[in-house]
Structure 1
Amino acid sequence: MAYARHQSFYLRDKWFSKGLRAVDSDSRFFFQENNFETIGLGKNMVESLKYWLLAFDVIEERNEEGQKGHYLTELGTTLYNNDRLLQKNETLAILHYHLVKNTKDLSTVFEWYFNRYKETTVSKLDLLNSFSTWVSQNESKEISENSLKRDIDCLIQFYTKTPNDNDPEDVIFCPFSKLSLMKSESSGEKSDTIKKMSPEVANLGINSLYYILLCHREFAEVELISVDEIIKGDFLWGKIFNLSRNKTIEALNVLTNHDKFPIQYVRTNNLDYIKVPKVSPMDFLKQELVKG
């Protein structure tokens, strides 16, 4: 598990595009001593940017001809070619999913909060205490309290740092605030109140929800997924987006009318399942992002 690799910086507006463009132009970009001058960010910000791109699964580090470099993944190439400025909420929702999925073991606090932590309303102090307790129970080594605090601070800013409507040149907001997954409220006391929010299906984009189902079908090697699992299962809609049963059914009903890959309801052992077509998540994404 990893903690505070983000250098205390949440992803800022335009960083995603800058990072993918830099890696696409030079696989050795993040190893260059003057990379911060080239991209126009501080040294720690560049390290943070590399962290976010790796955690999103849009770049990977590998050896080519005996030399380490960073390269766009298939997901990274698809997003770079179709929505590098993160203008579509469905792109943000897909990246949020990859961050929570934490396949590279880089984004522990995001996996914990969205996939494991069950409270929907909590004080910031209690949130930190709960995270610290969980880490102490699941780590073999001691983790600095400062690192855990930086993780919680970054998690909250990542989803709540909205644009300043009075400043059209505001560049320090986080684009992921557009997903409306979290709210931070000043309680008038020492600790703010943090709330998990349940966004509307339209705000997430139906294609991002379908992409997640296809990823699950491919990873679990199943054709049928129960509706209850979509609501309660790890790394599925109910947990990573806090979607209710009603909103889940609403989205599934839309997908039964998909023009190219409609899902089907199946009733088995008095339980409702959906049958997901055998299409790869990336093939689906390439078609739908281009179409969108």
Structure 2
Amino acid sequence: MAKTMQQEYRFGGHQTFALRIAWLPKAAAAIERGEDPLSNPLDGVISLGLGKNMVEALRCWIDAYGVATKVGGRWSLTAFGRAMFGLHGHDPFLEDQQTLWLLHWKVATLHTAPFFAWELLFNRWNEPTFSASAALRAFAQEAERTQRPLSPVSAKQHLDVWLHTYLPGRSGRSEEALDSPLSSLRLIRQVGTRELAEGRNEQVYAFDLDVKAGISQATFEYCLHDWWNNELEHEETVTLNEAAFSRMGPGRVFRMPEAEVRERISALSGEKNANFELLESLNQMMIRRKRRREPQALLSKIYANSSEDLANA
């Protein structure tokens, strides 16, 4: 069974800014050069060419997306950040769609001080659609449960940042109008409106529940191992249902159809020296992991095989 723990969630720290496409490559390159543009926002203003609030937002996101962490009073790239955005990284300019899926995976499965919007809407929400008012009610319930103050303004700002991460940006030429890189994944879309009790209308959103042909098999395998290592560390077998629907599982985080999860794991089990095996037991499908793998070791496979995988999808 997956591990459970009492968790403290974040609702702020992003200064109301969603991630921008150039931010991670810029900051990673500066850190790789030996600079420390994030400890003091004023240094970041000069080094990165961003406003002070944007530097503070970037400091929040570079940690949440697993690219850098503060060690000994200075920011340093993580092993993932170095492999992706370092001098000889796989995707130093954030141009590959597999990197975007990995960044989505990182922020949606964050174990230390995760953001509640990601926890709620990717890991707990079971309906195919949602509205802002429904999400904000859940925010308020979480704040009440943990006895932490959360103003309606802060709650709305947090939800807006989540929405701007996955929806195309607003029209205009300002920094606020720029799309988040993760909006190209099209995981969320607007599907209509609903009428509120006071007579106003509000937007209704839907998750993309279709097959995720844009996710390569190597990326799926990376996330499957990462989930297993973090949530099922001592388990040799789990049900297919857990991989498809459990909290922080790849099926749920990517909103994959159960049939797609099954097909992908079946394909992995058919590989030479396969790490996984798909079994039928007691009228349900089971997944057996033959050996533990560290996801970091699979990054080269993702970028070596992504073009071929997508061509054959």
TM-score by length of 2: 0.82
What is the CA–CA distance in structure 2 between the aligned matches of 1:153 and 1:49, rounded to whole Å? 17
Check the 8 A contact 1:265/1:272 in 2, yes or no. Answer: yes
Match of 1:100 in 2: 108
Check the 8 A contact 2:108/2:122 in 1, yes or no. Answer: yes
Match of 1:208 in 2: 219
- CA distance change for structure 1 residues 258 and 85 in 2, over 3 Å: closer, same or farther? farther
Which of 113, 120, 129 aligns to 1:121? It is 129
Which of 57, 76, 90 aligns to 1:48? It is 57
1:236 equivalenced with 2:245 (yes/no): no
SS at match of 2:202: coil
Aligned CA RMSD, in angstroms, stands at 2.5
1:141 equivalenced with 2:141 (yes/no): no
Match of 2:197 in 1: none
Count of paired positions: 285
SS at match of 2:38: helix
1:265 equivalenced with 2:265 (yes/no): no
1:253 equivalenced with 2:266 (yes/no): yes
1:281 equivalenced with 2:281 (yes/no): no
Q: Which amino acid aligns with 1:286?
A: S
Check the 8 A contact 1:12/1:171 in 2, yes or no. Answer: no
What is the CA–CA distance in structure 1 between the aligned matches of 2:183 and 2:90, rounded to whole Å? 21
Match of 1:158 in 2: 165
Runs of 4+ in 1 over 6 A off after TM superposition: none
How many percent identity over aligned positions? 21
Which string of whole-angstrom CA distances, capped at 9 and with x for unpartnered residues, describes residues 93-152 of structure 1?
221111111222142221121101222212222222232223322x22221221111111
Cα deviation for residue 257 of structure 1 reads: 3.7
SS at match of 1:135: helix
Check the 8 A contact 2:211/2:257 in 1, yes or no. Answer: no
Check the 8 A contact 1:97/1:240 in 2, yes or no. Answer: yes
Check the 8 A contact 1:266/1:273 in 2, yes or no. Answer: yes
Check the 8 A contact 1:201/1:251 in 2, yes or no. Answer: no
Which of 70, 86, 89 aligns to 2:94? It is 86
- CA distance change for structure 1 residues 262 and 202 in 2, over 3 Å: closer, same or farther? farther
Match of 2:23 in 1: 15
Check the 8 A contact 1:6/1:52 in 2, yes or no. Answer: yes
Q: Which amino acid aligns with 1:92?
A: L
Check the 8 A contact 1:17/1:84 in 2, yes or no. Answer: yes
**Which is worse superposed, 109-118 or 280-289?**
280-289
Q: Which amino acid aligns with 1:177?
A: S
Q: Which amino acid aligns with 2:43?
A: N
What is the CA–CA distance in structure 2 between the aligned matches of 1:120 and 1:133, rounded to whole Å? 21
Cα deviation for residue 29 of structure 1 reads: 1.9
What is the CA–CA distance in structure 1 between the aligned matches of 2:262 and 2:169, rounded to whole Å? 29
Match of 1:34 in 2: 43
Unaligned 5+ segments in structure 2 are 1-8, 195-199, 307-313
What is the CA–CA distance in structure 1 between the aligned matches of 2:192 and 2:56, rounded to whole Å? 31
What is the CA–CA distance in structure 1 between the aligned matches of 2:81 and 2:180, rounded to whole Å? 19
Unaligned 5+ segments in structure 1 are none
Match of 1:60 in 2: 69
Check the 8 A contact 2:266/2:278 in 1, yes or no. Answer: no
SS at match of 1:187: strand
Match of 2:182 in 1: 176
TM-score by length of 1: 0.88
